[in-house]
């Protein structure tokens, strides 16, 4: 399988313990053996790249760092050559609350969003999601080869969030362009990418929708955000727009990656595909297992002040990459960690993160994933990967297949 090429001006990695780079083509293509060998070599790897960064690969270490908000800040959650500038909003708020916030502010910023992503609210979007999946499958019904990523997985989270925000479905194209810009700029920190926002086009679009909702409140996520209060005050429209951008960044390519990885697995493992078709009651455990094995999201922290972690001299301002996907493959936590067991009963995976920043959209992501797989299998109980050499993966901290050509008949 080929990969989306990361920057070509970088030195290839020859020593993963002392010089790792998560944008190296070897990592992008297949990070799992790298993490496996690091797990036995050292608890935490280091690199001088990115101005100095650490890489824990065991479940224990990733867990400990995620829960330790005293020594680690979420001020910047994407490792890059560009460090957060002095003009950026400092912790505890950060540029995209709550994901870039630290305690105590984080709890308030998170609390105000929670009701919009609770299980009951999300269940209300199930029938829309199901109809959408069917519509996407109808649109390619005459083809023998369908791209499960481009023609299907990509559109599902995009159009569901457009629906939740109360925007016209015909405007999904604005967001699609924005997401492409984000995915192409893998070496630019997400915070900066959020600032670029398509030369102001996205901001102008969101401002227009916010103005409409202020004039005429509706029963949707935009009006919910405009009515939400923080410290007894309504959110400023700029804050609402920032939160919308965060939801787009956090919710679309993550879920697209998870749906795509699951369909890629089923396209290449006929035994699991047949088992799931014959016994749909396995769907819930299968979804959790796909999330565990193909977890798409790696986050980062910055060291808040100098201290020693597992014998390593962490210095204030060092990056720490948090590969939740590596935690999910740790054999000390999961028996047969590299195996996909679609009926795995005990599965406390870390795909949605650990600690105070645990994914706020997990109900939504799970719902989309379950319905996407269910509807795909209802339409195509039999399908297989057409050309493995045309499968590509995204580079960067959200990893997932971006091209999955499958033969459906
Ligand atoms: C399969 C899909 C998804 C995966 C694997 C995923 C993964 C994650 C992870 C690992 C974190 C933790 C961040 C950290 O520790 O720094 C996170 C946080 C977050 N996610 Fe997701 N996510 C997914 C889908 C979504 C969706 C659909 C939404 C909403 C539209 C969303 C919204 C958020 C938000 C707002 C946070 C920040 C929470 C906080 O800081 O308290 N995510 N996600």
Q: Which of 13, 61, 54 is nearest to 33 (CA)?
A: 13
Tens digit of pLDDT for each residue in 16-38?
999 999 999 999 999 999 999 99
Tens digit of pLDDT for each residue in 215-245?
999 999 999 999 999 889 998 888 898 899 8
Tens digit of pLDDT for each residue in 280-310?
999 999 999 999 999 999 999 999 999 999 9
Report whether the peptide linkage leading into residue 92 is cis, meaning its omega lies within 30 degrees of zero.
yes
Residue 90 has pLDDT above 70, yes or no: no
Q: How far is the CA of 357 from the centre of ligand 1 (A)?
A: 8
Question: Is the CB of residue 350 below 6 angstroms from any atom belonging to ligand 1?
Answer: no
Q: How far is the CA of 301 from the centre of ligand 1 (A)?
A: 15
Atom of ligand 1 nearest to the CA of 258: 1
- pLDDT for residue 242: 86
Q: How far is the CA of 249 from the centre of ligand 1 (A)?
A: 9
Q: For ligand 1, atom 37, which residue shows the shortest CA distance?
A: 99
Q: How far is the CA of 251 from the centre of ligand 1 (A)?
A: 7
Q: How far is the CA of 250 from the centre of ligand 1 (A)?
A: 6
Q: What strand order describes the sheet that includes 384-385?
A: 145-147, 405-407, 384-385
**What's the predicted TM-score (pTM) here?**
0.94
Q: How far is the CA of 24 from the centre of ligand 1 (A)?
A: 24
- pLDDT for residue 83: 76
Question: Is the CB of residue 248 below 6 angstroms from any atom belonging to ligand 1?
Answer: no
Tens digit of pLDDT for each residue in 309-343?
999 999 999 999 999 999 999 999 999 999 999 99
Atom of ligand 1 nearest to the CA of 97: 40
Question: Is the CB of residue 243 below 6 angstroms from any atom belonging to ligand 1?
Answer: no
Q: How far is the CA of 391 from the centre of ligand 1 (A)?
A: 25
* Higher pLDDT, residue 297 or 181: 297
Question: Is the CB of residue 244 below 6 angstroms from any atom belonging to ligand 1?
Answer: no
- pLDDT for residue 236: 87
Choice among 66-80, 177-191, 359-373 with the minimum mean pLDDT: 177-191
Judge contact between 101 and 92, C-beta under 8 A.
yes
Atom of ligand 1 nearest to the CA of 66: 15
Q: For ligand 1, atom 21, which residue shows the shortest CA distance?
A: 359
Q: Which of 91, 97, 106 is nearest to 303 (CA)?
A: 91
Q: Which domains does the chain possess?
A: 25-407 (1.10.630.10)
Q: Give the total residue count for the chain.
A: 409
Q: For ligand 1, atom 35, which residue shows the shortest CA distance?
A: 360
Which residues are bridge partners to 71 per DSSP? Answer: none
Judge contact between 354 and 322, C-beta under 8 A.
no
Judge contact between 156 and 256, C-beta under 8 A.
yes
pLDDT tier for residue 188 given thresholds of 50, 70 and 90: low
Question: Is the CB of residue 77 below 6 angstroms from any atom belonging to ligand 1?
Answer: yes
Question: Is the CB of residue 360 below 6 angstroms from any atom belonging to ligand 1?
Answer: yes
Residue 149 has pLDDT above 90, yes or no: yes
Question: Is the CB of residue 364 below 6 angstroms from any atom belonging to ligand 1?
Answer: yes
Q: For ligand 1, atom 40, which residue shows the shortest CA distance?
A: 99
Q: For ligand 1, atom 34, which residue shows the shortest CA distance?
A: 360
Pocket test for ligand 1, best of 250, 289, 328 (most atoms within 8 A of CB): 250
Q: How far is the CA of 18 from the centre of ligand 1 (A)?
A: 30
Pocket test for ligand 1, best of 109, 154, 361 (most atoms within 8 A of CB): 361
Q: How far is the CA of 96 from the centre of ligand 1 (A)?
A: 12
Atom of ligand 1 nearest to the CA of 74: 16
The mean per-residue pLDDT over the stretch 196-212 comes to 81
Judge contact between 357 and 99, C-beta under 8 A.
yes
Q: Which phi-psi region, left, alpha or beta, contains residue 336 (left: φ > 0; alpha: ψ -120 to 50)?
A: left
Question: Is the CB of residue 324 below 6 angstroms from any atom belonging to ligand 1?
Answer: yes
Here the tokens at position 126 are: 């199930």
- pLDDT for residue 271: 98
The mean per-residue pLDDT over the stretch 354-368 comes to 98
Q: For ligand 1, atom 41, which residue shows the shortest CA distance?
A: 357
Dist CA 154 CA 148 (whole Å): 8
């Amino acid at each position: 399988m080929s990969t989306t090429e990361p920057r070509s001006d970088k030195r290839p990695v020859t020593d993963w313990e002392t010089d790792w780079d998560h944008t190296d083509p070897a990592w992008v293509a297949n990070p799992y053996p790298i993490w496996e060998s690091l797990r036995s070599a050292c608890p935490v790897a280091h690199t001088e790249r990115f101005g100095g960064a650490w890489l824990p690969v065991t479940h224990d270490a990733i867990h400990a760092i995620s829960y330790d908000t005293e020594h680690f800040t979420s001020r910047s959650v994407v490792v890059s050559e560009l460090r957060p500038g002095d003009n950026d909003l400092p912790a505890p708020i950060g540029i995209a609350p709550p994901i870039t916030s630290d305690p105590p502010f984080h709890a308030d910023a998170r609390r105000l969003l929670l009701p919009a992503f609770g299980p009951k609210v999300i269940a209300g979007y199930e029938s829309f999601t199901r109809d959408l999946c069917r519509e996407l499958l109808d649109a390619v019904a005459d083809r023998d080869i369908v791209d499960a990523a481009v023609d299907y997985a990509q559109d599902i989270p995009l159009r569901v969030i457009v629906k939740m925000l109360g925007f016209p479905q015909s405007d999904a194209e604005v967001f699609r362009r924005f997401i492409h810009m984000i995915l192409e700029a893998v070496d630019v920190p997400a915070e900066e990418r959020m600032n670029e926002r398509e030369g102001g086009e996205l901001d102008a679009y969101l401002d227009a929708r916010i103005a409409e909702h202020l004039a005429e409140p509706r029963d949707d996520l935009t009006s919910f955000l405009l009515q939400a209060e923080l410290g007894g005050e309504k959110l400023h429209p700029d804050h609402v727009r920032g939160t919308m951008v965060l939801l787009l960044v956090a919710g679309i390519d993550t879920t697209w990656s998870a749906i795509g990885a699951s369909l890629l697995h089923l396209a290449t493992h006929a035994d699991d595909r047949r088992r799931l078709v014959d016994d749909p009651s396995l769907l819930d455990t299968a979804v959790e297992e796909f999330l565990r094995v193909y977890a798409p999201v790696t986050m980062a922290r910055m060291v808040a002040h100098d201290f020693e972690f597992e014998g390593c001299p962490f210095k204030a301002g060092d990056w720490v990459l948090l590969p939740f996907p590596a935690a999910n493959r740790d054999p000390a936590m999961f028996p047969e960690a590299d195996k996909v067991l679609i009926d795995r009963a005990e599965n406390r995976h870390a795909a949605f993160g650990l600690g105070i920043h645990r994914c706020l959209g997990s109900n939504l992501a799970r719902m989309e994933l379950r319905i996407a797989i269910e509807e795909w299998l209802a339409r195509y109980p039999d399908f297989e990967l057409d050309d493995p050499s045309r499968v590509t993966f995204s580079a960067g901290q959200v990893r997932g297949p971006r091209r999955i050509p499958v033969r459906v008949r």
